[in-house]
Structure 1
């Protein structure tokens, strides 16, 4: 498989993801914990009960510092809904904490929108 990214076994530079996103989420289409793109996630420091799958482990690794769901999705190169399901699983296991964005935050703030766009562009 030429072009295979050595850090990501399921991503090919020419072909893209080698597995379908619904496979990563076991066919689920809704997270158990409601999240938005601007929801903040962070690892709790608790150990998962058992071994995590590769995508869950990668998502957990990205939550070492406070970050947004959009940033995690961009770094995982997964659709936001699949990322929300992965993160929701981690919340259910108690290894990640998720907080909704401040309702008083201005979602039309240009800085926030540019940060989201930057994260999404890195996903491409």
Structure 2
């Protein structure tokens, strides 16, 4: 009960507004089939042929926000979670949904072990200069 004698719902926060539990956004799912590819540094990019996510009634506002954020600038999973103020696990599930529907695609940065050796790059530059 509040000071004015009315019952207050524990689902409402005066500062934040209505509270939605993270599992409600993911329909109770905690993992997605593509979960193994969606680490914190995975980069999310909106597909160029992607339609308007707002016209798809099965997508949530959070899905639409993710597509919008990645439309102009690729974003990592960690950046999306911070920008949307959502737990990383929720963002991973939502991103997995969007990958399945081909609104976005996910790329992973090249691991340092797979990058070319610096001496090879210097040799290439020197060879180009010699031309």
Q: Would you say same fold, with TM above 0.5?
A: yes
TM-score range, shorter chain: 0.5 to 0.7
Question: Is structure 2 residue 81 aligned with structure 1 residue 73?
Answer: yes
Q: How has the CA–CA distance of structure 1 residues 12 and 57 changed in structure 2, closer, same or farther, with 3 Å as cutoff?
A: farther
- List runs of 5+ in structure 1 lacking aligned partners: 1-10, 106-124
State the match for 1:29 in structure 2. Answer: 30
State the match for 1:56 in structure 2. Answer: 63
Number of equivalences: 95
State the match for 2:3 in structure 1. Answer: none
Q: TM-score, normalised by structure 1?
A: 0.67
Q: TM-score, normalised by structure 2?
A: 0.64
Which has the larger Rg? 2
Q: How has the CA–CA distance of structure 1 residues 97 and 12 changed in structure 2, closer, same or farther, with 3 Å as cutoff?
A: farther
Could you say what the CA RMSD is over the residues aligned between the two structures, in angstroms?
2.3
- List runs of 5+ in structure 2 lacking aligned partners: 1-11, 114-131
Structure with a larger share of its residues in helix: 2
